[in-house]
Amino acid sequence: MKEQVKKKVSEAVERLFSIKPPDFKVEKPRDEKHGDLATNVSFLLSKTLKKNPNEIAKELAEYLSRDPDLEEVEAVRGFVNLRFSRDFFLKEFSKLLEQGEEYYREDLGKGQKVQLEFVSANPTGPLHLGHGRGAVVGDTLARLLKFYGYDVTREYYINDAGRQVYLLGVSILFRYLELFGKENERPEIKELFQREGYRGEYVVELAKLLRESVGDLLLKGEVTSAKERILSHGYPFELSYTERFSGGEEPDVELCSLFGLDAMMDEIRRDLSDMGIEFDVWFSERNLYERGLVEKLIEELSRKGLVYKSEGALWLRTSEFGDDKDRVLKKSDGSYTYFASDIAYHWDKFRRGFEKVIDLWGADHHGYIPRVKASLKMLDIPEDWLEVYLIQMVKLFKGGKEVKMSKRAGNFVPLRELMNDVGSDAVRFVFLTKRSDTPLDFDVDRVKEKSSENPVFYVQYAHARISGVFREFRERFGRDPESEDFSEFLKELKEETELKLIRKSIMMKDELMDVATRRDPHLITYALIDLAGTFHNYYNHHRIIGSEEKLMLGRISLLKGVRSALRIGLKLIGVSAPEKM
RNA sequence: GUCCCCGUAGCUCAGGCGGAUAGAGCGCGAGAUUCCUAAUCUCGAGGUCGGAGGUUCGAGUCCUCCCGGGGACGCCA
C-alpha cells in the first residue's frame, strides 16, 4: 500500500513541480481520522520550492484526488492525507479472498542469503527464559524473512570447546562420585567443583544417567570400557560427542564432558523443537579448531600487522578500529580466548557466502559488539554485513510474585518449566509483546485466563470465533465458505466497522513488511491484538448468520479475509490458529 | 570510573528514519444488558512524556547536562 502511494506522490511531485522528490515518508497517521495514509513530502519541499507547506500540500491533494483509487485527498496543516476509495479496498480485499495468506507475500529479499544466529546457549545447562526469548525472536525473524523472499539459514553456535565444557565434565564426575559416596577420594575434583562447578540438580540427573550405563567403571578407572558401555547402552539420543572420546589427560573428566554434551544438546534440541523451532545448522566450536580456522585467522590478522605479543599473550589491535582497548586472542597459558574463536566463526560465516548476518545475543554481551565489529573491519568485511540485536532478560511472575530460581537448574528458571506450565503458544506470544532489547515481565497467571486480559487467548479466540461461524454456516446452509466465493456480496457491507476490518486486514501487509525490514517482530503481536479487538467489537454488535442472505454472504466473506490476516500473523510468530477453543 | 538500556495515565505497556489534538488494555466513574455465537457493551474522567537546556518550520522521538532504576565492563564463558 505504502509503496503504491509513494509512487503516486512521487509522480505528482514531478508533474507539478518538475523536480525529483526528496526522500519523503508515507505512513499510517496516528489518528485514523487523518486518513489511511499520509505523507510529509510538502514539509520537505517547502524550502526548495520557497512555498509554505500547506500550499504545496493543497496542490498535491488536488492533483492526487483525480486518482480513482483515492477517494479523499486532503491537505491539512501541511500534511497530505489520503483515503483509499471503498472500491479500491473492495478490490484489494477480493484479491485477499482469492489468494488467502499468499496475499501478504512479497519478494523483498530477492533471494539474498541471510544467516540468523540465535540462542547459541552453552550446552552446560538447560535453556532458561532469556534463551527462550532469543529463540522466539530469532525464529520469528527467520519466518518473516523467509516469507519475504530471503534465503534464510538458522544457525546455533555450540560452545563445545573450552573451560565451560571441562567444568561440566568435572561437575558430572563429582556428582557421579557422590552417588557412590566416593567424592572425597578425588580431592582435586571436589575442590574444583566447589569453586567453579555447576550446582544445578540437572547435573545430578546427568550423573545418574551416566551411571545407568557405566555402573562403577569410572571408579575403577576403566574409562575406555565405560565409553563402550555408553555407546552400546541404547540412550535415546545421539552420542556424537562421546564417540569422539580421545582418552588424553584426565580421561574420566573428558568422558563426562562428552557424555554431558550429548545429553545437554539433546535436551536443548527438544526444548527448542517443542516450541516449533528448528535449526538448519548446528555449528560446533570444536569444529572451528579442528579445521585450524582459529590459527588461520590469527595468521591472517598477523599478516596485516594487527596482532602483537605482550605479557606472554597475543593481543589484537581492536582499539584502532573503534573498540576502547585491545583484546587478547591467545592467553599466556597457550589457550585461545572465546573472542578468538568468535571472530573465526564470523569470518567463516563470511566465507560461506552469507550476504547478511543477523546475530541475537544476550544483552549482557553488549560490550562485545565493538570488538567483534572491529575485528570484522580488520578482515575487510563491510560494516553493515553484521547486525546484532540484544535480548534482554525475562522475569517470571506467578501469583504476583517473582519466580526466581529452580531446584533443577540452580539459580535460574528453565524454559521447559514455563513451557510445561503455559504451553508453547503462550510462551511465544508473550515473548513477543515487548521490544526484545527491553526487559520483559511474564505474568503466568494472565496467560492462563480465558478472558480479554489474556492477549494470546484474545487473538486466538478471534480466529476460533470465525471458524465457529463458518461451522455453523456450513451446518445450517450446507455451503462451504472455504471453497465457495462470495466476494460479489462484499458490496453489501455498509457498516463503518466492516470497512475498518477490511482496511486493517489489507494494511496488515504493510505492517508485516515493515516488521521484516525493521527486524522488530514484537510489532506483529500488536497488529494482531488490534485486528482481533476490532473483530470482537464487530462480532459483539452484528449478527452474521441470521442477517439477510446477501448481507450474510458479504459478512462471511469479510470474516474470511480477516481470518487470513489473523492466520498469517499467527503463522509468522509461530502461534497456532485454533478452530475451536 | 567508562559504556549500554530504561524512565510516557493509578498499573502494564505501545508510540515506525522527527510530524497533526501523545495512544491501548487494565483499574476508576456513569449508564445499558442477562434474548443472542463462549471474553458483556457504550460513554467518560485521567498526562508538565523523569528534569533543564539545545538543534528544527515542527521534539515523547535527535544532541548536551543532571536526577532516578537496571545491566555490562576480565588473559571468564
Are residues A259 and A301 both part of a single domain?
no
How far, in Å, are A364, A518, A556 from residue A369 at the CA level? Answer: 11, 19, 52
DSSP labels, A398-462: ETTEEE--BTTTBSS-BHHHHHHHH-HHHHHHHHTSS-TTS-EEEEHHHHH--STT-HHHHHHHH
The pLDDT of residue A315 is 92
The pLDDT of residue A258 is 96
Domain boundary (A360, A391, A422) is at: A391
Place A456 in a pLDDT band, splitting at 50, 70 and 90: confident
Interatomic CA–C1' length for residue A44 and nucleotide B28, angstroms: 44
**Across residues A308-313, what is the average pLDDT?**
88
Domain boundary (A58, A84, A110) is at: A84
Which CA-bearing residue is nearest the C1' of B17?
A25
Are residues A459 and A557 both part of a single domain?
yes
Q: Is the pLDDT of residue A347 over 90?
A: yes
In a domain, A569, yes or no: yes
In a domain, A279, yes or no: no
Q: What is the DSSP letter of A128?
A: B
Are residues A239 and A295 both part of a single domain?
no
Angstrom distance (rounded) from CA A99 to CA A92? 11
Residues of chain A above pLDDT 70, percent: 100
For chain A, counts of helices (H) and of strands (E): 21, 15
How far, in Å, are A183, A217, A220, A262, A570 from residue A227 at the CA level? Answer: 21, 10, 13, 13, 46
Q: pLDDT tens, A107-142?
A: 999 999 999 999 999 999 999 888 999 999 999 999
In a domain, A360, yes or no: yes
| Whether A440 CB is under 7 Å from strand B | yes
How far, in Å, are A75, A317, A318, A386, A488 from residue A326 at the CA level? Answer: 56, 5, 5, 21, 69
Q: Nearest nucleotide to A82 by CA–C1' distance?
A: B20
Q: Is the pLDDT of residue A574 over 90?
A: yes
Q: Is the pLDDT of residue A33 over 80?
A: no
In a domain, A521, yes or no: yes
Helices A549-573, A129-147: crossing angle, 10 deg rounding = 120
Residues 6+ apart with CB under 8 A from A169: A253, A254, A255, A256, A257, A258, A260
Q: pLDDT tens, A465-495?
A: 999 999 989 888 888 888 899 999 999 888 8
In a domain, A416, yes or no: no
Angstrom distance (rounded) from CA A512 to CA A26? 16
Q: Apex CA A429: angle with CA A425 and CA A433, to 5°?
A: 165
Contact between residue A573 and residue A525 where contact means Cβ atoms under 8 Å apart: yes
Could you tell me which residues are beta bridge partners of residue A152? Answer: A114
Other Cβ atoms closer than 10 A to A390: 18
Are residues A459 and A569 both part of a single domain?
yes
Q: Is the pLDDT of residue A34 over 80?
A: no
The pLDDT of residue A10 is 86
The CATH number of the domain where A569 resides is what? 1.10.730.10
Residues 6+ apart with CB under 8 A from A258: A169, A241, A242, A244, A245
Interatomic CA–C1' length for residue A301 and nucleotide B67, angstroms: 45
Angstrom distance (rounded) from CA A67 to CA A61? 10
How far, in Å, are A164, A202, A363, A388 from residue A125 at the CA level? Answer: 10, 8, 19, 24
Most confident of A128-142, A322-336, A359-373: A128-142
Q: Is the pLDDT of residue A399 over 80?
A: no
The pLDDT of residue A181 is 96
Chain A 304..323 CB hits on strand B (< 7 A): 310-313
Q: Scanning the structure block, which residue is given the C-alpha cell 487467548?
A: A457
In a domain, A115, yes or no: no
Residues 6+ apart with CB under 8 A from A363: A390, A391, A392, A393, A437
Q: pLDDT tens, A437-449?
A: 888 888 888 888 7
Contact between residue A570 and residue A563 where contact means Cβ atoms under 8 Å apart: no
In a domain, A446, yes or no: no
Are residues A231 and A299 both part of a single domain?
no
The CATH number of the domain where A9 resides is what? 3.30.1360.70
Angstrom distance (rounded) from CA A439 to CA A437? 7
A452 torsion bin: left (phi>0), alpha (psi -120 to 50), beta (else): alpha
The pLDDT of residue A101 is 93
| Whether A520 CB is under 7 Å from strand B | yes
How far, in Å, are A195, A201, A351 from residue A204 at the CA level? Answer: 17, 5, 41
Interatomic CA–C1' length for residue A63 and nucleotide B54, angstroms: 39
Angstrom distance (rounded) from CA A391 to CA A85? 42
Angstrom distance (rounded) from CA A581 to CA A571? 17
Are residues A175 and A253 both part of a single domain?
yes
Q: pLDDT tens, A149-193?
A: 999 999 999 999 888 899 999 999 999 999 999 999 999 999 999
Q: The C-alpha cell of A314 is what?
A: 597475543
**ipTM score for this prediction:** 0.86
Are residues A233 and A301 both part of a single domain?
no
| Whether A488 CB is under 7 Å from strand B | no
Residues of chain A above pLDDT 90, percent: 51
Are residues A255 and A335 both part of a single domain?
no
Are residues A470 and A551 both part of a single domain?
yes
Q: pLDDT tens, A375-390?
A: 998 999 988 899 888 8
**Positions in chain B where some atom is under 7 Å from a protein CB:** 2-6, 12-17, 19-26, 36-42, 57-58, 70-77
Q: Is A250 exposed, middle or buried (0-12, 13-18, 19+ CB in 10 A)?
A: middle
Q: First CA to last CA across chain A, in angstroms?
A: 34
In a domain, A474, yes or no: yes
DSSP labels, A356-394: EEEEEEEGGGTTHHHHHHHHHHHTT--GGGEEEEEE--E
Helix (H, G, I), strand (E, B) or coil at A580: coil
**Length of chain A as a residue count:** 581
Q: pLDDT tens, A508-540?
A: 998 898 888 888 888 899 889 889 988 988 888
How far, in Å, are A184, A239, A497 from residue A242 at the CA level? Answer: 26, 5, 62
Residues 6+ apart with CB under 8 A from A151: A109, A111, A112, A113, A114
The pLDDT of residue A1 is 80
| Whether A446 CB is under 7 Å from strand B | no
Helix (H, G, I), strand (E, B) or coil at A535: helix
Q: Scanning the structure block, which residue is given the C-alpha cell 484474545?
A: A458
Chain A 237..296 CB hits on strand B (< 7 A): none
Are residues A257 and A298 both part of a single domain?
no
The pLDDT of residue A434 is 86
**Across residues A559-570, what is the average pLDDT?**
94
Domain boundary (A391, A409, A426) is at: A391
Strands A37-39 and A26-27: antiparallel
Contact between residue A351 and residue A364 where contact means Cβ atoms under 8 Å apart: no
Q: pLDDT tens, A36-91?
A: 888 888 888 877 777 878 888 888 888 988 888 888 888 887 888 888 888 889 99
Angstrom distance (rounded) from CA A262 to CA A252? 15
Chain A 148..187 CB hits on strand B (< 7 A): 159, 162-164
**Domain containing residue A545:** 455-573
Are residues A335 and A242 both part of a single domain?
no
Interatomic CA–C1' length for residue A119 and nucleotide B50, angstroms: 35
Which CA-bearing residue is nearest the C1' of B20?
A77
Total domains in chain A come to: 4
Angstrom distance (rounded) from CA A457 to CA A28? 27
How far, in Å, are A321, A329, A374, A382 from residue A378 at the CA level? Answer: 8, 14, 6, 10
A399 torsion bin: left (phi>0), alpha (psi -120 to 50), beta (else): left
Q: pLDDT tens, A229-258?
A: 999 999 999 999 999 999 888 999 999 999
Q: The C-alpha cell of A183 is what?
A: 567424592
The CATH number of the domain where A312 resides is what? 3.40.50.620
Q: What is the mean pLDDT of chain A?
A: 89
Interatomic CA–C1' length for residue A44 and nucleotide B58, angstroms: 12
Torsion of CA A407, A410, A415, A418, to 10 degrees: 30
Are residues A234 and A334 both part of a single domain?
no
DSSP labels, A315-343: EE-GGGGT-SS-EEEE-TTSPBPHHHHHH
Q: Is A23 exposed, middle or buried (0-12, 13-18, 19+ CB in 10 A)?
A: exposed
